Amino acid sequence: MHPFTFNRASSTDQAVKWGAAPNVRFIAGGTTLTDLMKLGVEHPTQVVDINRLPLAEVERTPEGGLKVGALVRNSDLAWHLAVKQGYPVLSEALLAGASGQLRNMATTGGNLLQRTRCMYFRDNLSPCNKREPGTGCAAIGGANRTLAIFGTSEHCIATNPSDMNVALVALGAQVHIQGNHGSRVVPVGEFFLLPGSTPQVETVLQPGELITHVALPPPLEGAKSGYLKLRDRASYEFALASAAVVLQIDGGRVRQARVALGGVGTLPWRSPAAEQALVGAPASAATWRAAAEAAVRGAKAQSENGFKIELAKRCVAQQLATVAARV
Ligand code: SF4
């Protein structure tokens, strides 16, 4: 591991001030950063511990939504009563991620910034534009069974690995950010960046900016939601395909719908085409199938992951039927 200095911030202002220096990383749960530092993929010169900042609360907002502090642990958020009752899709997505021990450490802010599990990214001997810009992409034409079919570029085809992020996109969450020059709010759907020719830049965060909390809008009245994750084994595994669904059904017809896919996109992949196929249509198996077809339109398979197109389609159709049947 490369040598680095370690400082513990006692206020958000202090953290963002320290964070503005070159090559600084914030650490909270450390479930991604520590691994990557040991592997030599990340080599910050300074690590700022933010665990003492007052960002570990879940609070109701005046509008009836939720304010989730960046340091709220994934387990605490998944089992929080307001989340279980108002945002089942988020609770289910969190519980589908990693292992119990990791969920006890991992935080909301850290999960938003989870790095890809593309194996070449973690192997310093392989070309990887995300780890070392300009070196190439070993996954294109290489081992890409688990990688993306949406949002890829000729420079990177890595998936965003998070389950939580898929649920946040389906829910229309907002990310609150603080930097040295003030605060800003970014809809989660605009927080992640496509790889394009700069896959090393994954989000809109500027150097030194810190996620302070995530805001969830009030739950849609009468809406039902849920998350389905398909993977090679039943636990402690990343998604091959997943679907986060929010449905509001009235008089046998879909009034509002939000659909996002995980495990298939270079970012958590919302599907406006699927939502369009749902809104106004009867709540029926034919509608779920039509929406699932729409969800995978435009997918681009790599040499080993063509199966994901059918898998994602079935995942969306299955989860729409499951959520619609919930009482
Ligand atoms: Fe690196 Fe992205 Fe290619 Fe994987 S897919 S090797 S992360 S550039």
Residue range 111-151, pLDDT digits in tens: 999 999 999 999 999 999 999 999 999 999 999 999 999 99
Let me know: does 215 contact 234? Beta carbons within 8 Å.
no
Would you state the pLDDT for residue 327? 78
Would you state the pLDDT for residue 200? 98
Would you state the pLDDT for residue 184? 98
Over 90: is that where the pLDDT of 172 sits? yes
Burial class (CB in 10 A: 0-12, 13-18, 19+), 49: middle
**Residue 41 CA, ligand 1 centroid: distance in Å:** 13
Burial class (CB in 10 A: 0-12, 13-18, 19+), 28: buried
What is the 3 state secondary structure string of 106-164? Answer: CEHHHHHCCCCCCCCCCCCCCCECCCCCCCCECCCCCCCCCCCCECCCCCCCCCCCCCH
Would you state the pLDDT for residue 129? 98
**Residue 270 CA, ligand 1 centroid: distance in Å:** 22
| DSSP helix/strand/coil, 68 | strand
Q: Which atom of ligand 1 is nearest to the CA of 127?
A: 6
Q: Which atom of ligand 1 is nearest to the CA of 195?
A: 2
In single-letter form, the type of residue at position 61 comes to: T
Percent of all residues in the chain with a pLDDT value above 90, rounded to a whole number: 98
User: Which DSSP symbol is given to 219?
Assistant: P
Would you state the pLDDT for residue 13? 96
Number of alpha carbons in the 13 Å side-chain half-sphere of residue 255: 10
**Residue 79 CA, ligand 1 centroid: distance in Å:** 34
Query: How far is Cα 296 from Cα 88, in angstroms, rounded to an integer?
Result: 24
Radius of gyration of the chain (CA): 19
Would you state the pLDDT for residue 244? 99
* Of 255, 258, 254, the residue nearest 270 (C-alpha): 258
| DSSP helix/strand/coil, 74 | helix
| Pocket of ligand 1 contains residue 191 by CB under 6 Å | no
Q: Which atom of ligand 1 is nearest to the CA of 131?
A: 1
| Pocket of ligand 1 contains residue 157 by CB under 6 Å | yes
* Of 206, 214, 204, the residue nearest 181 (C-alpha): 206
- Domain extent listing, the chain: 5-49, 224-324
**Residue 86 CA, ligand 1 centroid: distance in Å:** 37
Residue range 153-166, pLDDT digits in tens: 999 999 999 999 99
Percent of all residues in the chain with a pLDDT value above 70, rounded to a whole number: 100
Chain Cα centroid distance, residue 248: 23
Let me know: does 243 contact 315? Beta carbons within 8 Å.
yes
Query: How far is Cα 141 from Cα 23, in angstroms, rounded to an integer?
Result: 32
Please compute the mean of the pLDDT values over residues 236-249 and round it to a whole number.
97
Residue range 76-114, pLDDT digits in tens: 999 999 999 999 999 999 999 999 999 999 999 999 999
**Residue 156 CA, ligand 1 centroid: distance in Å:** 5
List own/partner pairs for 309-315 with CB under 8 A and 24 or more apart.
Answer: 309/149, 311/230, 311/240, 311/241, 312/149, 312/241, 312/243, 312/261, 312/263, 312/264, 315/228, 315/230, 315/241, 315/242, 315/243, 315/261
Q: pLDDT band for 62, please (50, 70, 90 cuts).
A: very high
Over 80: is that where the pLDDT of 44 sits? yes
Query: How far is Cα 239 from Cα 97, in angstroms, rounded to an integer?
Result: 9
Over 90: is that where the pLDDT of 35 sits? yes
5, two tokens: 């200095």
Fold of 5-49: 3.30.43
* Ligand 1 pocket mutation, candidates 118, 135, 154, criterion most atoms within 8 A of CB: 118
In this structure, what is the dihedral angle of CA atoms 77, 79, 84, 85, given to the nearest 10 degrees?
-100
**Residue 137 CA, ligand 1 centroid: distance in Å:** 5
* Ligand 1 pocket mutation, candidates 32, 126, 128, criterion most atoms within 8 A of CB: 128
Fold agreement (5-49, 224-324)? no
Residue range 204-224, pLDDT digits in tens: 999 899 999 999 999 999 999
Q: DSSP string of 172-215?
A: T-EEEEEETTEEEEEEHHHHB---TT-TT--BSPPTT-EEEEEE
Mean pLDDT estimate for the chain: 97
CATH among 3.40.50.920, 3.30.390.50, 2.40.50.140, 3.40.250.10 for 224-324? 3.30.390.50
Give the β-pairing of 46-49 and 24-27: parallel
Query: How far is Cα 320 from Cα 325, in angstroms, rounded to an integer?
Result: 9
**Residue 153 CA, ligand 1 centroid: distance in Å:** 10
Let me know: does 107 contact 29? Beta carbons within 8 Å.
yes
Over 80: is that where the pLDDT of 1 sits? no
Would you state the pLDDT for residue 67? 98
Q: Which of 228-232, 298-302, 323-327 has the lowest mean pLDDT?
A: 323-327
